[in-house]
Structure 1
Amino acid sequence: MSSQPVVPPSLPFGFLAQLWPYLSRYRGILIGAILALVLTAGLTLLMGQGVRLVIDQGLLASSLEALNKTLGLMMVLVVAMAIGTFTRFYLVTWLGEKVSADLRADVFAQLVRLHPSYFEENQSGDIMSRLTTDTTLLQSIIGSSLSFALRNMLTVTGGLIMLVVTNLKLSAVVLLGVPAVLVPVILMGRQLRVLSRRSQDSVADVGTYAGEIIRQIKTVQSYGRENFERQAFQVEVDEALAVARQRIRQRSFLMAVVILLAFTAIAAMIWVGGYDVMTGQMTGGELAAFVFYAVMVAFGVAGVSEVYGEVQRAAGATERLMELLAEPSLITDPDQAVTTNLTHSEAMRLDNVSFSYPSRPDKPALDQVSLSVQRGETIALVGPSGAGKSTLFELLLRFYDPQQGQVRVQGQDVRELALDDLRHQFGLVPQQPVLFSQNVWHNIRYGRPDASDDDVIAAAKAAHAYDFIMALPDGFDSHLGENGVRLSGGQKQRLVIARAILKNPAILLLDEATSALDAESEHQVRQALSVLMRDRTTVIIAHRLATVLEADRILVLDQGRIQAVGRHAELLQSSPLYRRLADLQFADGQLSSSLS
């Protein structure tokens, strides 16, 4: 997806330039809305001339016929205004809905393509706030406030022209007040925009805090920290409220200043115009028309100042969204992708690979690692926490690129493969099972969206998940709650294994896939996995050494380096680290005898 440049708008409505790629998709709706806007503004201005005719030709001339004609004409204008208003409101509101939907879709598409480290460095609440709150705000602004502001700007402009046409002398009195109104709008509007951005950021912080506590509610309650979290959340809310109060105070003061100055100018104009009527220099109808236009200008200016704060909030929201859309992904498809060679003798290969996470650049997660895995081979990775086992998985899946060295899959450098093609080769079963809140069908079929119901059922049976699925209230149609909260740990793991079985990948990545299962389920799933692993390349992260006995090779990792390679019996003799890990897990160090 092409990113949009982030250019801070310099004009009050400058953010529309950033939104133009989205607005321009609906030129027909936009043109229709603008025409309806101009029409209603023009008809409003004509009402002033109708007032003049009613007074001068009807009331002051005591002509009932003229009065009827002028009032009839005004009614025609009123009906036309009603039709134009309906058209304008409908088109502008629909335009706001469409632009908001497109923005939300583009932001989400950008999010799912961004590199994983972006989500490590940015709070999820802030990201969700941009996806939901900011796009909803723009929907409201474009569909309502912006239309109101533009209509008032047209009314003010047209009203000023009609003031000059009606009476030049009185127009000078009114125009003297225009700079006095515009200066505070411009100066205070800049500060209001900064406060609007701060307010949106503080609301995002509130959402981030609340989301984290809700996700970890069992931990919060088990430690009896409800009151602490309630007070801590109140602090976050109060900080957001304090910023909002500053923004509201600034906006309220702006509106008060504008109304005071605008209607002071009108009062001065009425005094001068009243004097001219009394001295016969102008008619009562002209004064009434002039007062009509002056009041229209005053209310228009007041209306613009009232929504000016909303427009500034829209500018802040647009900046936040454009920043996200412009964020480059560090992991992208190559310009000219090559295809994988499924017959290559090597399923994967690492050549002198070194890698450090962006958040820990001085601490290598992998340090000059070289490894070759043949097609159909099963290897196991063992080692203490932080040895680099999971990092190896993340480089194979190209969640990150190494700072040094080369990672090859099916004979090709992973940076030369399309991401979809690369990741299609793998089936990942993580230690912590990941499920979606939708039903069982969706969760298993996530491994292969085009799979038939029979295929899904077969995968569930192979993973020994079918029986407990059928025991759920709605069977395969049962919704599982957030991250499968309605299932036990072992049940969730078996669904994830069923997903991998359904995908039928060339390479299996198992992160201690049976660690969450009870003894009986573990035995059943091991049987299913043994069938799945047959003639298939498999890499196992083993936290329990009992799971690695059948591996063709065991790699012992520590501090990002491969310390030893061999079979279980060999490593017991040759690797002190492997032997120490064994001693920690089995009493008296009798690993070989207890597992024989």
Structure 2
Amino acid sequence: MSDASRDDPMKAAAGPVRGAILRLVRDYCWRYRWSYLGGVIFVVVTNYLAVSIPGEIGRAVDALRAAASVAPHVLAIIVMGTAVIGVRTLSRILIFNPGRDVEYHLRGDLFAKLLALQPPFYAKHKRGDIVSRASNDISWVRTLVGFGGLQVVNVTIAVALTGWKMVALSPRLTLVAGLPILLGVVAVQVAIQRVFHLSRISQEQLGEISEHVLGSLQGMATIQGFVAEQSFVDRFEQRNNDWMRIGMKLAIIRAAALPLLVLSGGIAMFAVVAVGGPMVLGGRLTVGELAAFTALLAVLLPPLRSFGWMLSVIQRGRASLDRVFELMDEPVERPEGETGVDLPRGAGPAVELKDLGFSYPDAPDFRVLDGISMTIPPGAVIGLFGRTGSGKSTLLRLLSRLFNPPAGTVLVDGHDIIDLDLESWRKRVTMVPQRPFLFSESIAANVALAGDADEARVREAAQMAALEQDLRALPDGLDTVIGERGITLSGGQRQRVALARGLARGGDLLILDDVLSAVDHATEARLVDTITQIARGPGAPTVLIASHRLSAFRTCDTILVLDRGRLVDQGSHDDLVARPGPYRDAWWVQRQGGSTAAGAAT
């Protein structure tokens, strides 16, 4: 990560585009200034040698006309031509290589920023667009600082040196040649201005395509199961056609604008011959000087031809840079700022809820939780029951600070939870979510996710999560690679791998969000006993278990009953089945064996 980004990752650009380029130079390119300086020096030398060769050609022509020896001039041309090859290669190495380093650091900083952004950000932004910015846009930024930077320097120096040599030979011919070239450059600049806007739209549409492809890959089983392939192909075609239309507009602009410079160069060459020929006949210019001038013009034309392409690359790179910095400037939701409270670790915390209400950012008018007040003693085992949509998972997300609750509504050991240092608090919390995410790695790597659990701890956690029999049936045991999202495992196996991950990590607050829904009753009883042993041991954590299965609550100290975001009841199992309410209704259904807890919850 760059020093500047580490010091202030939220640093805003001075302006939407120019400020972004200055920021790129300041934060990422400046450290390579000596490499860039060396590259610029070699570009100057390259162009100086290139514009010196036509002078030698002119002198060789005049020497031939005077029947003098041309050997010194030929030797000089050979030496300078060979030197141009070597020096030009060095200039590209010194300018292109830092571009790769800039891409490396920028990509690393962006990934670190993505890891720092909280779930509310990802709820509002499309994953495909984020992936497009982190890959395609950063590649364009590298092109901007590599090829684009080289061409800016090369064209500038080539025009300056060639113009100097041309003026020295004939100011009149320089004016004649320069007028059509200048008009061509102005026309190209006007046309290229449109490229920035279209490039921005193109990059956003590419993000839409990436989002569609990602969603389709993740939902492939569902798409095929519902025979919806053609529908998804049609949606892809619509997005792809929109992107292609913008791409065609960009191609038309480039196709129309870039040949203008070639045309203006041809007109300039014709004008030089038309005006220079009579000057030679009139004795105001030698044949060698005219040959040198036309050779200088030939040297100037390739950089001018690349001028239009260079402007196109710069405009596209600027659009991409703007999108990258937009992402890097997204605020990280950290209410505690830099002075968060770091509470002691090693024991379960006390948690107090005070009139807790919460709405998600994308639906601010819908109260998911409303007026919840209660106290959870340190080291307690708390059950959380409620029908689907009652707010259980939301409450657990607030306690783990995946989302921040309103100020003063959740207290941990007497401190407002949003005043706690986020990293410090999350190190104390272990949350096993309702829908666990498993990576396409080995089971052992998934269990030791943060890399802080050794092999013995991983095996112990797998045994505690009742995985040992499943591991014996797998080809490589703990080293079995389980595929994207654990696709090769059953639902119950995925839940238990995720539970093993949580048990391997430990923590002072253990949050289990319906992690027993896909296991059989014998496995559930074993897992409940394991969790109870952890909760009753030395330095016991505070444990919250959300479940639709009432049998998961048999060892809980207190069971909280939620209904439509409100706390409608609480007490022990015996207390709750003794009085009317959602809990007793579910208990009767499950007692009669007519449904699973999930069915009762509906």
- TM-score, normalising length: structure 1: 0.93
Question: Which one-letter code corresponds to 2:56 in the other structure?
Answer: G
Picking from 391, 396, 404, the partner of 1:393 is 396
Question: Which one-letter code corresponds to 2:452 in the other structure?
Answer: D
Separation (CA, whole Å) in 2 of partners of 1:201 and 1:345:
47
Q: Is the 8 A contact 2:407 2:418 kept in 1?
A: no
Separation (CA, whole Å) in 1 of partners of 2:415 and 2:432:
24
Q: 3-state SS of the aligned residue for 1:176?
A: helix
Matched, 1:44 2:50: yes
Alignment of 1:323-402 (within 5 A): 323-331=326-334, 334-342=337-345, 346-402=349-405
Question: Which one-letter code corresponds to 1:400 in the other structure?
Answer: F
Q: Is the 8 A contact 2:349 2:542 kept in 1?
A: no
Picking from 545, 551, 564, the partner of 1:559 is 564
Picking from 567, 577, 587, the partner of 2:582 is 577
Alignment of 1:422-433 (within 5 A): 422-433=425-436
Matched, 1:5 2:8: no
Instruction: Name the count of aligned residue pairs.
Output: 586
Q: Is the 8 A contact 1:367 1:561 kept in 2?
A: yes
Find the counterpart in structure 1 of residue 3 from structure 2. Answer: none
Cα separation, partners in 2 of 1:79 and 1:386, compared to 1, 3 Å: same
Separation (CA, whole Å) in 2 of partners of 1:499 and 1:362:
36
Per the TM alignment, residue 298 of structure 1 is displaced from its structure 2 partner at its CA by 2.8
Per mean C-alpha deviation after superposition, the further-off stretch among 328-337 and 199-208 is 328-337
Separation (CA, whole Å) in 2 of partners of 1:196 and 1:521:
56
Matched, 1:419 2:422: yes
Q: 3-state SS of the aligned residue for 1:386?
A: coil
Q: Is the 8 A contact 1:9 1:315 kept in 2?
A: no
Find the counterpart in structure 2 of residue 249 from structure 1. Answer: 252
Cα separation, partners in 2 of 1:124 and 1:160, compared to 1, 3 Å: same
Q: Is the 8 A contact 2:20 2:325 kept in 1?
A: no
Find the counterpart in structure 2 of residue 498 from structure 1. Answer: 500
Q: 3-state SS of the aligned residue for 1:574?
A: coil
Picking from 444, 458, 468, the partner of 1:466 is 468
Separation (CA, whole Å) in 1 of partners of 2:257 and 2:404:
52
Find the counterpart in structure 1 of residue 515 from structure 2. Answer: 513
Find the counterpart in structure 2 of residue 480 from structure 1. Answer: 482
Question: Which one-letter code corresponds to 2:520 in the other structure?
Answer: D
Structure 2 residue runs without a partner (length 5+): 1-5, 597-602
Find the counterpart in structure 2 of residue 545 from structure 1. Answer: 550
What does the per-residue CA deviation read over 1:48-96, in whole Å, with 9 as the maximum and x for residues that have no partner? 222222222x3222222xx111111122212221221121222222111
Per mean C-alpha deviation after superposition, the further-off stretch among 183-192 and 410-419 is 410-419
Per mean C-alpha deviation after superposition, the further-off stretch among 123-132 and 494-503 is 494-503
Matched, 1:536 2:538: no
Per mean C-alpha deviation after superposition, the further-off stretch among 574-583 and 278-287 is 574-583
Cα RMSD between the aligned structures?
2.3
Matched, 1:129 2:132: yes
Q: Percent identity?
A: 29
Separation (CA, whole Å) in 2 of partners of 1:373 and 1:552:
10
Cα separation, partners in 2 of 1:93 and 1:179, compared to 1, 3 Å: closer
Per mean C-alpha deviation after superposition, the further-off stretch among 212-221 and 523-532 is 523-532
Separation (CA, whole Å) in 2 of partners of 1:470 and 1:91:
56
Separation (CA, whole Å) in 2 of partners of 1:505 and 1:419:
15
Per the TM alignment, residue 588 of structure 1 is displaced from its structure 2 partner at its CA by 9.2
Per the TM alignment, residue 584 of structure 1 is displaced from its structure 2 partner at its CA by 5.2
Cα separation, partners in 2 of 1:354 and 1:79, compared to 1, 3 Å: same
Q: Is the 8 A contact 2:335 2:419 kept in 1?
A: no
Q: Is the 8 A contact 1:441 1:476 kept in 2?
A: yes
Cα separation, partners in 2 of 1:590 and 1:129, compared to 1, 3 Å: closer
Find the counterpart in structure 1 of residue 161 from structure 2. Answer: 158
- TM-score, normalising length: structure 2: 0.92
Q: Is the 8 A contact 2:511 2:544 kept in 1?
A: yes
Q: Is the 8 A contact 1:340 1:409 kept in 2?
A: no
Separation (CA, whole Å) in 1 of partners of 2:15 and 2:289:
45
Per the TM alignment, residue 10 of structure 1 is displaced from its structure 2 partner at its CA by 6.3
Alignment of 1:63-462 (within 5 A): 63-64=68-69, 67-331=70-334, 334-342=337-345, 346-446=349-449, 449-462=451-464
Cα separation, partners in 2 of 1:179 and 1:93, compared to 1, 3 Å: closer
What does the per-residue CA deviation read over 1:174-222, in whole Å, with 9 as the maximum and x for residues that have no partner? 2322441232222212111111111111111111101101100000000
Question: Which one-letter code corresponds to 2:183 in the other structure?
Answer: A
Q: Is the 8 A contact 2:381 2:558 kept in 1?
A: yes
Q: 3-state SS of the aligned residue for 2:409?
A: strand
Question: Which one-letter code corresponds to 1:323 in the other structure?
Answer: E
Q: Is the 8 A contact 2:349 2:509 kept in 1?
A: no
Picking from 21, 30, 34, the partner of 1:28 is 34
Per the TM alignment, residue 290 of structure 1 is displaced from its structure 2 partner at its CA by 1.1
Q: 3-state SS of the aligned residue for 2:350?
A: strand
Separation (CA, whole Å) in 2 of partners of 1:345 and 1:223:
47
Q: Is the 8 A contact 1:156 1:296 kept in 2?
A: no
Find the counterpart in structure 2 of residue 594 from structure 1. Answer: none
Cα separation, partners in 2 of 1:342 and 1:151, compared to 1, 3 Å: closer
Question: Which one-letter code corresponds to 1:576 in the other structure?
Answer: G
Q: 3-state SS of the aligned residue for 1:294?
A: helix
Q: Is the 8 A contact 1:512 1:543 kept in 2?
A: yes
Q: Is the 8 A contact 2:347 2:379 kept in 1?
A: no
Separation (CA, whole Å) in 2 of partners of 1:393 and 1:322:
33
What does the per-residue CA deviation read over 1:31-50, in whole Å, with 9 as the maximum and x for residues that have no partner? 22222222212221222222
